[in-house]
Structure 1
């Protein structure tokens, strides 16, 4: 399935394996189910490096340009592999072939695939696979595992552009996907701010309110990505709706960016910060019934 050049044979093998996961024999004898080392070996053959959950060092998942030429399409058979992995995770509680640590590593690896532009044709498949991986965690496992996955993903990429791309790719209607996106955004926010992670509405707002956009030495590039990450985290944070003072402070900061930055400001990212702040003001005022939060 993973290395054949015959597409018909590939799909037939994938259908057979997925069907076999639904049989009773699979749960009685799950030894045939490929373990995570086998999956990682296949991904490495495709050109991806292994991602480690434990420890301070997390290697970046990427295509190895020295071993593979530039790809204009997804690695061969990757779609079938992701489909089989999705079905395996769907049945994880029955066959119990994967440990909690295995699933965490799968989540980090699959989420990092969003950074590969050649996988855009498979973006829906990658997204669905990640959802099944996250849903395979037990309730008692989820909270701690979600935090570990978010911390690991924050170490995968250093570029702010890719950090934002990865965070926005973690969208979805599933609560667990939303939770992961929120925690990843929080990790990236503090990473960009170069400060220790300190969750809380007012902790984030205190960092943003220290920035004076009138100064010439403002790094509007970092500010733009901080605003984006703060928006993702605050939007999914239920405490913002309860803490009216926090919402007012957030709107006040956005309005200050919108009003104090001129449309003719030629500093890098200045107009981008201004336009995005203006847009967010409209969104939050519309969602939270702005009349109650207008400054007098």
Structure 2
């Protein structure tokens, strides 16, 4: 009876509302802050993911750009390579350098002097101080070496005022043939002290019973394996060959020659012809790349030998040396090396530099008889023709520059000067900056520099 009637079920207004058993929660300020912080974290996380995604896209784009640039560069290199091929295959240009020392001979045996024949050593043996040293005649070799290495041999020589022949000869041979570096240096110091003693125009401070001659110096070079028949036009040997090279004693040899040339007023050890040969030998040593650590010694020695000649001797000797060098050096970078190894610090060296360059150019231009014919041949070169050898032209340009600008008498010659300027103008004007042939840019730049700053 209590059940609702059918029409009551169809009436929405009569249907009772459902009872909401959940209680409404009161929202506080802390809840709002927490909700705000959660939203901020979600937003930050979303931005972080987007930044990572963007960074990956940028990195991929960067790699793609680099790949495109690399591909573009490869195409450019290939294009340049093909353009270079259009000029023909470039010949390999060797660097300067010739080995002027061959196989060494065995060094001679060092004979120690007889102590009984040396007065100052005998006086030391008879001195009461010998009771402390206890020197015996059979220990003369170690005793002399000790005196030499410790510098006492030269002090005893200056105190006694005398260097006897056995001691002088032994010290000379020790300098040139000893395998002990300390003994070489000490022997060299001993002789240099003796040679540099006294006044310039006076005698030595000590009396020296024996002086070496040029044959002794030449014999040492022969033992070292120096090639006196040297010619760079022959087949070049590799600079890396294990030929042994110059011995350690060559330092002492160069130093001794330097001092010998500085004492001409006291003792003339070299004749004019021998001094000429020394100049030729030193210039040849400049061609050996293994001597680059001795350049200072070589420069000093060359200057000393050049100053050894008298004014009357030098004119003919300079030309003789220049002809000797010119006919033995091939038309490559070695002939430039022989010119530029001669310094410009003195008038004689500049004259020698000019003479070597001139004689070398005469040798290169076989039909030329004088400087004007050389410059006419240079001026007639067709710089735009494909057959133009810019490497040889560069060599001729450097040689002409040293020949003319290192000699005041040649530079003041108006005809030579004008012809040289014409040649420089041709090189700086008719060689295109885009000419890719070997040494074309070097010739153009050097000619422009000489034309604007030197001539």
- Of 227, 231, 247, the match for 1:60: 231
Corresponding position of 1:193: 365
**Per-residue deviation at 1:224?**
1.1
**Per-residue deviation at 1:176?**
1.1
Corresponding position of 2:228: 50
Corresponding position of 1:218: 388
Corresponding position of 1:69: 242
Corresponding position of 1:40: 218
Structure 2, unpaired ranges of 5+: 1-174
Separation in structure 1 between the aligned mates of residue 302 and residue 325 of structure 2, nearest angstrom: 13
Distance 1:15 1:166, change over 3 A: same
| Greater Cα shift, 146-155 or 246-255 | 246-255
Contact residue 231 and residue 329 of structure 2 kept, 8 A: yes
Within a 5 Å distance, the mapping from 1:1-296 to structure 2 comes to 1-21=175-195, 22=197, 24=203, 32-50=210-228, 59-60=230-231, 69-71=242-244, 75-198=247-370, 200=371, 202-239=372-409, 242-244=412-414, 246-284=416-454
Separation in structure 1 between the aligned mates of residue 427 and residue 384 of structure 2, nearest angstrom: 9
Contact residue 376 and residue 419 of structure 2 kept, 8 A: no
- Count of residue correspondences: 272
**Per-residue deviation at 1:192?**
2.0
Distance 1:60 1:14, change over 3 A: same
| Greater Cα shift, 246-255 or 231-240 | 246-255
The CA deviation string for residues 73-131 of structure 1, in whole angstroms up to 9 with x for no partner, is x5312112111111111112431232111111111111110001111110110111011
The CA deviation string for residues 232-269 of structure 1, in whole angstroms up to 9 with x for no partner, is 11112324554455434322321221221112223333
Separation in structure 1 between the aligned mates of residue 331 and residue 192 of structure 2, nearest angstrom: 37
Distance 1:60 1:27, change over 3 A: farther
Contact residue 92 and residue 136 of structure 1 kept, 8 A: yes
Distance 1:239 1:2, change over 3 A: closer
Q: CA RMSD in A?
A: 2.7
Contact residue 181 and residue 248 of structure 2 kept, 8 A: no
Contact residue 258 and residue 278 of structure 1 kept, 8 A: yes
Contact residue 327 and residue 363 of structure 2 kept, 8 A: no
Separation in structure 1 between the aligned mates of residue 394 and residue 237 of structure 2, nearest angstrom: 31
Structure 1, unpaired ranges of 5+: 52-58, 286-296
**Per-residue deviation at 1:15?**
1.6
Distance 1:103 1:9, change over 3 A: same
Distance 1:183 1:264, change over 3 A: same
**Per-residue deviation at 1:182?**
0.5
Superposition TM-score, scaled by structure 1 size:
0.82
Contact residue 410 and residue 416 of structure 2 kept, 8 A: yes
Separation in structure 2 between the aligned mates of residue 25 and residue 238 of structure 1, nearest angstrom: 39
**Per-residue deviation at 1:69?**
3.0
Contact residue 351 and residue 407 of structure 2 kept, 8 A: no
Distance 1:96 1:28, change over 3 A: farther
Distance 1:26 1:188, change over 3 A: farther
Select the structure of larger CA radius of gyration. Answer: 2
Contact residue 27 and residue 94 of structure 1 kept, 8 A: no
Corresponding position of 2:139: none
Separation in structure 1 between the aligned mates of residue 414 and residue 381 of structure 2, nearest angstrom: 22
